[in-house]
Amino acid sequence: MRRLILFDIDGTLVQGGPAKDAFVSAMTEIYGTPGLLEDVSFAGKTDPQIARELLRGAGMPDADIEAGFERLWVKYLVKLEALLPSDPVRVLPGVEALLDALVGYGDVGVGLLTGNIVGGARLKLSSGGLWDHFTFGSYGSDHEERDELPAIAVERARKLYGNVVRSDLAVVVGDTPRDVACGKAGGTRTVAVATGSFSVDDLASSGPDRLLVDLSSTDEVVTALLE
């Protein structure tokens, strides 16, 4: 296998949508509070990590947090699905052309590596018409720690493509320093793209193997991913 490409979702493939509103509403219904929203950044974290940090900040014990997780994710997905038709995600420039171009490489696997729980990933990407581009991935519902997700994605790809799949042939593509850090932790290459809330300078300081302003130049991006 030439490359295994693992895309983050929010800020990398898409922007916008009602996910945060759905999440806050679900948190309030299940726990009676959304937690300390002003104190916790959502960027580059898994959904369970975000929920835990918010609720810990509000003084809630871990046992109580975990007791509500199953109901939280069910409630969140119901609310997200209800809101997306009127407020779909926006696909970022160049993404569709890039994914179409990668289909032409028979020795390249294209998957997801995202902090979203799998149901949230499906709903978001389906609202932008992108879900069918991906046959495997690793998600926040697989592990609360993002650094554990590359190994999960590689193992799932190995089941699809065989033992030719290796971590050093994978590349994590994301818009936050945490994406870069998790790729490094998982032994993959990293490509950072400044289409989210972090600037080129912010991302450069995290030390990615390649740094792109955006994904709009298909040929340039393909070269960066496959080199």
pLDDT of 39: 83
pLDDT of 40: 86
Domain ranges in the chain?
Answer: 3-16+88-226, 19-86
User: How many secondary structure helices (H) and strands (E) does the chain include?
Assistant: 9, 8
The mean pLDDT of 167-175, rounded to a whole number, is 97
SS3 call for 40: coil
Compute φ and ψ for 113, nearest 5 degrees: -140, 105
CATH value of 19-86 in 1.10.10.60, 3.40.50.12500, 1.10.150.240, 1.25.40.390: 1.10.150.240
User: Could you confirm whether domain 3-16+88-226 is CATH 3.40.50.1000?
Assistant: yes
**Taking the model in full, what pTM does it have?**
0.96
Q: Flag whether pLDDT at 164 surpasses 80.
A: yes
Average pLDDT, the chain: 96
Long-range contacts of 155-163 (CB under 8 A, 24+ apart): 156/111, 157/4, 157/109, 157/111, 160/109, 160/135, 160/136, 161/1, 161/109
Q: How far apart are CA 150 and CA 113, in angstroms?
A: 7
- Per-residue pLDDT tens digits for 172-224: 999 999 999 999 999 999 999 999 999 999 999 999 999 999 999 999 999 99
pLDDT of 21: 96
- Per-residue pLDDT tens digits for 34-88: 998 988 889 989 999 999 999 999 999 999 999 999 999 999 999 999 999 999 9
pLDDT of 17: 96
- Per-residue pLDDT tens digits for 89-118: 999 999 999 999 999 999 999 999 999 999
The mean pLDDT of 2-23, rounded to a whole number, is 96
Query: Which H/E stretch holds residue 109?
Result: strand 108-113
pLDDT of 80: 98
pLDDT of 219: 96
Q: Flag whether pLDDT at 1 surpasses 80.
A: no
pLDDT of 38: 85
